[in-house]
């Protein structure tokens, strides 16, 4: 599984200085610990657990599970019987036991340069306690679901930790999603309250968030589900920071066009509520397997899946992956550029860094605003040492050349990371050579919303790097590659990436639909967790992710369901049928290429195309906006009526070699589609 020794050819190595201080300084040490983590998980994870506070100890097995649907219900249980509170562990423990109260938890950097705020661990704890008391005063209790729809402000972290403190389950929805998407998620998890903000700027674009939130709540009411209360943070309309009880400063930028509707029967002001609350709030002690949060990820059926993570296992796994993958030390300043609305932000902005007492940058803006040097300006400003971003951002910045990077020093950088999708070797090498000046190891991490944390990843000093490879498994993770028949392949091979046993941070179920959980991840190959990704293992044992195998697309690091986009398109009265495939994109990784068949008598024109793009934006969000829409009078189908998406992918990429098309009902359809291909995108 793990080679006896690290390969010596075609690899890049970390510097000697990094190896001297690294938590895991060599490949030999990595292999020793890896074997221990797989053969004696109770002993390995038990050592990690000693760093945390437990109100009561666990009883029974440390990690118990069934991955085989033929032997009964699928389950994973970690430290059953133990009780703890994750908020207590990431805040109270750091302030009181580790004496880190005056240490900076977050450097908040707003959308506009000069919008900034420093928040210490003590200040964060006080605000979390106050907001936890607010939630309790509104009737929120242990087990209740709370929907959070906010921009990248410190109050987003406050809201999620306040939920965790009282045992409520947070369900964060990315602030780029539409009212329809927010409504769907609120209803699926039956949230009792919504927390949002008035609005925010993303670059030059003003987002009237409260307007969208109100539209979502109305959609809920229209479907006979009422959210009784909505708490709104004044982010753009705040006037006086000193009197607001807020951790984010007033916006520097005027926003006369901001629309902030207000319903006094439903809406409550964050600042008014928090002002009179106590700075003390006893944590609610939770069982290890109590739910911590629900986070929705696109599903191949079109209906998003509510991925559920639980308290103890997730805490141990995010804390240890953060510490070891980024080789975290107490003097580091860490910056993950992701949004907390995605799993990366949950695990590697909030829970993982705070569990280690780390100082992080929390960034509201865009990598290209107000100019393409913004990221490197921030790196120098806060002396960032560990930097974690997406291949999409790297490819975007590559387009502008080296000069915007090299006008800043970046001497503080020690480790670079990538997340969200496989990175192509060209972008990897630019990142390593230009951004890191060939002195910073690159940790190219593979994981999913479902895995909770990194599962395949380099370790900075221990594993020699291959550009574009996710390298080796993290501790406790046992990967395998299967063929179509479900047989494990040995040595160099390519096939389905699966995992043979759980690790503490893996998801426990799809909220409200355990059957879907079992069908999606365990039914195809009983006895294995199926990732849905293809993978290649090379002669040195390195793993290379080759992309999604199911009907999912990875656009700018975000999974989108093709059927979800298709559903949005066919809701338009002009569209009879739609099929969506991915097409390679130099920046986003994949782009959406849509084929639409119109109803009789409808002609395709630019006005209709604009309407269709708008429809998808409103139903799902801006990230799902199609790059290409092609008028397709007919779609390539088998005689049984199944759309041949493989053929559509070939057409989208203008690849004439279609392979075996003997099952096509009408081959002339393909010729027509090639002739009418889209030549340019958005």
What are the C-alpha distances in Å from 224 to residues 17, 172, 218, 221? 62, 22, 10, 5
What is d(CA 502, CA 379) in angstroms, rounded to the nearest whole number?
A: 36
3-class SS of residue 521: helix
**DSSP annotation of 350:** I
DSSP per residue, 212-253: HHHHHHHHHHHTT----EEEEE-SSS---HHHHT-SSPPPSS
Do 84 and 311 meet the contact criterion of CB atoms below 8 Å apart? yes
Element of type H or E holding 129: helix 121-137
Q: Which residues contact 339 (CB under 8 A, 6 or more apart)?
A: 152, 174, 175, 176, 345
Helix (H) or strand (E) holding 544: strand 543-548
Please give the pLDDT value at position 242: 46
Q: Enter the tokens of residue 605.
A: 């024109």
Compute CA 337 distance to the chain's CA centroid, rounded to the nearest angstrom. 11
For 71-89, how does the pLDDT look when each residue is reduced to its tens digit (9 = 90+)?
999 999 999 999 999 999 9
Q: Is the pLDDT of residue 651 over 50?
A: yes
Q: What is the pLDDT of residue 348?
A: 98
Q: In angstroms, rounded to a whole number, what is the distance separating the alpha carbons of residues 488 and 468?
A: 24
Confidence of residue 681 (pLDDT cuts 50, 70, 90): very low
Percent of the chain having pLDDT more than 70?
95
CB contact at 8 A, 632 and 597: yes
Lowest pLDDT segment from 105-119, 184-198, 292-306, 631-645: 631-645
Give the mean pLDDT of 100-110. 98
Q: Are 555 and 591 in contact (CB under 8 A)?
A: yes
Contact status, residue 477 vs residue 455, Cβ threshold 8 Å: yes
Give the model confidence (pLDDT) of 502-513 as tens digits.
Answer: 999 999 999 999
Report pLDDT digits (tens) over 271-328: 999 999 999 999 999 999 999 999 998 765 668 899 999 999 999 999 999 999 999 9
Tokens of 407: 């006008």
Task: Tell me what pLDDT residue 302 has.
Answer: 63
Q: Take residue 616 and report the two structure tokens written for it.
A: 């998808």
Write the DSSP string, 44-80.
HHHHHHTTS--SB---S-SEEEE--GGGS--EEEEST
Whether the predicted pLDDT of 250 surpasses 70: no
Q: What is the pLDDT of residue 187?
A: 98
DSSP notation for 331-345: T-EEEE-S-TTSHHH
- What is the pLDDT, as a whole number, of residue 243? 47
Q: Where are the alpha helices (DSSP H) in 360-486?
A: 374-382, 391-398, 403-406, 425-430
Residue 567 to residues 80, 302, 307, 599, Cα–Cα distance (Å): 41, 8, 22, 15
Checking if the pLDDT of 399 tops 50, the result is yes
Q: What are phi and psi of 237, to 5 degrees?
A: -100, 5
pLDDT, residue 101, reads: 98
Backbone angles phi, psi at 411, to 5 degrees: -70, -20
* SS3 labels along 526-542: CCCEEEEEEEEECCCCC
pLDDT at 680 over 50: no
Contact call for residues 553 and 559 (beta carbons, < 8 A)? yes
Work out the pLDDT band at 394, boundaries 50, 70, 90: very high
Taking CA 88 as the corner, what is the angle to CA 82 and CA 94, rounded to the nearest 5 degrees?
125
**Does residue 68 contact residue 498 with C-beta atoms inside 8 Å?**
no
446-484 pLDDT per residue, tens = 999 999 999 999 999 999 999 999 889 999 999 999 988
Give all strands (DSSP E) within 562-663, no chain letters.
575-585, 589-598, 628-631
- What are the tens digits of pLDDT across the range 35-66? 999 999 999 999 999 999 999 999 989 999 99
User: Nearest 5°: phi and psi at 594?
Assistant: -110, 135
Residue 9: per-residue pLDDT: 67
pLDDT of residue 553: 81
Cα-Cα-Cα-Cα dihedral of 45, 47, 52, 56, to 10°?
80
| Cβ atoms of 113 and 368 closer than 8 Å | no
In this predicted structure, the answer to whether residue 549 has a pLDDT above a threshold of 90 is no
Q: Taken in order 636, 642, 646, 649, is the CA torsion positive or negative?
A: positive
Inter-residue contact 560 to 604 (CB < 8 Å) = no
Contacts of 9 (CB under 8 A, 6+ apart): none
Q: Percent of the chain having pLDDT more than 90?
A: 75
The two structure tokens encoding residue 548: 């999604």
Is it the case that residue 373 has pLDDT exceeding 60? Answer: yes
Q: Is 631 exposed, middle or buried (0-12, 13-18, 19+ CB in 10 A)?
A: middle
Alpha-helical segments (H) within 277-407? 311-325, 343-345, 352-355, 374-382, 391-398, 403-406
- Cα gap 556→306, rounded to integer Å: 21
* Separation of alpha carbons 410 and 39, rounded Å: 41
pLDDT for 673 beyond 60: yes
| pLDDT tens column, 339-364 | 999 999 999 999 999 999 999 999 99
Q: Is the pLDDT of residue 682 over 50?
A: no
Per the DSSP assignment, residues forming a β-bridge with 218 are none
| Three-state DSSP class for residue 371 | coil
Contacts 24+ apart (CB under 8 A), 68-73: 68/522, 68/526, 68/527, 69/518, 69/522, 69/523, 69/526, 70/526, 73/514, 73/518
Q: What is the largest CA-CA distance in the chain?
A: 73
Q: Which two tokens stand for residue 655?
A: 């690849």
pLDDT, averaged across the chain: 92
**Separation of alpha carbons 218 and 81, rounded Å:** 41
Q: Which residue has the tokens 């293992």?
A: 537
- Mean pLDDT confidence for 612-638: 91
């Amino acid at each position: 599984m793990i080679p006896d020794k690290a390969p010596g050819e075609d690899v890049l190595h970390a510097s000697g200085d990094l190896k001297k201080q690294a938590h895991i300084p060599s490949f030999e040490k990595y292999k020793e610990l890896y074997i221990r983590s797989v053969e004696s998980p109770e002993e390995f994870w038990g050592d990690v657990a000693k760093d945390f506070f437990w109100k009561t100890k666990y009883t029974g097995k440390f990690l118990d599970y069934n991955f085989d649907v033929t032997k009964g219900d699928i389950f994973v249980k970690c430290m059953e019987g133990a009780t703890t509170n994750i908020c207590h562990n990431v805040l109270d423990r750091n302030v009181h036991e580790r004496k880190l109260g005056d240490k900076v938890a977050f450097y908040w950097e707003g959308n506009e340069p000069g919008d900034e705020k420093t928040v210490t661990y003590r200040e964060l704890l006080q605000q979390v306690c106050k907001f936890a008391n607010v939630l309790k005063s509104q009737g929120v209790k242990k087990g209740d679901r709370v929907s959070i729809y906010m921009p990248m402000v410190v109050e987003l972290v406050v809201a999620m930790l306040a939920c965790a403190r009282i045992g409520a389950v947070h369900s964060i929805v990315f602030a780029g999603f539409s009212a329809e998407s927010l409504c769907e998620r609120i209803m699926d998890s039956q949230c009792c309250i919504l927390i949002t903000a008035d609005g925010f700027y993303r670059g030059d674009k003003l987002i009237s968030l409260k307007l969208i939130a109100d539209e979502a709540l109305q959609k809920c009411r229209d479907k006979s589900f009422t959210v009784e209360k909505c708490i709104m943070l004044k982010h753009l309309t705040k006037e006086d920071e000193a009197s607001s009880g807020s951790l984010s400063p007033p916006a520097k930028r005027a926003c006369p066009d901001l629309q902030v509707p207000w319903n006094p029967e439903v809406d409550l002001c964050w600042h008014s509520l928090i002002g009179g609350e106590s700075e003390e709030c006893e944590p609610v002690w939770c069982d290890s397997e109590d739910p911590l949060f629900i986070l929705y990820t696109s599903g191949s059926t079109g209906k998003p899946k509510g991925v559920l993570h639980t308290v103890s296992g997730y805490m141990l796994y995010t804390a240890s992956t953060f510490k070891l993958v980024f080789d975290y030390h107490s003097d580091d300043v860490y910056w993950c550029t992701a949004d907390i609305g995605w799993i990366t932000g949950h695990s590697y902005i909030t829970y993982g860094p705070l569990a280690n007492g780390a100082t992080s940058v929390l960034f509201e803006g865009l990598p290209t605003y107000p100019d393409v040097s913004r990221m490197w300006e921030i790196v120098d400003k806060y002396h960032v040492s560990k930097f974690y971003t997406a291949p999409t951002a790297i490819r975007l910045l590559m387009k502008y050349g080296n000069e915007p990077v090299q006008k800043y020093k970046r001497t503080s950088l020690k480790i670079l990371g990538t997340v969200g999708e496989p990175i192509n070797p060209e972008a990897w090498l630019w990142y390593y050579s230009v951004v890191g000046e060939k002195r910073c190891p690159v940790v190219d991490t593979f994981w999913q919303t479902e895995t909770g944390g990194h599962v395949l990843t380099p370790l900075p000093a221990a594993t020699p790097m291959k550009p574009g490879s996710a390298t080796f498994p993290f501790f406790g993770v046992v990967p395998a590659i299967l063929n179509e028949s479900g047989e494990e392949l040995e040595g160099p091979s390519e096939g389905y990436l699966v995992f043979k046993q759980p690790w503490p941070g893996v998801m426990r179920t799809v909220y409200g639909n355990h059957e879907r959980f079992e069908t999606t991840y365990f039914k195809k190959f009983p006895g294995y967790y199926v990732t849905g990704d293809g993978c290649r293992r090379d002669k040195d044992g390195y793993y290379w992710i080759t992309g999604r195998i199911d009907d999912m697309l990875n656009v700018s690091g975000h999974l989108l369901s093709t059927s979800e986009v298709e559903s949005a398109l066919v809701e338009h009265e002009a569209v009879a049928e739609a099929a969506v495939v991915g097409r390679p994109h130099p920046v986003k990784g994949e782009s959406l290429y849509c084929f639409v068949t119109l109803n009789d008598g409808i002609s395709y024109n630019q006005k209709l195309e604009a309407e269709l793009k708008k429809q998808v934006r409103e139903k799902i969000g801006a990230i799902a906006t199609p790059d290409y829409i092609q008028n397709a009078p007919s779609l390539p189908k088998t005689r049984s009526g199944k759309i041949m998406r493989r053929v559509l992918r070939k057409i989208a990429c203008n690849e004439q070699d279609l392979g075996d098309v003997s099952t096509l009902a009408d081959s002339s359809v393909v010729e027509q589609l090639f002739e009418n291909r889209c030549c340019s995108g958005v």
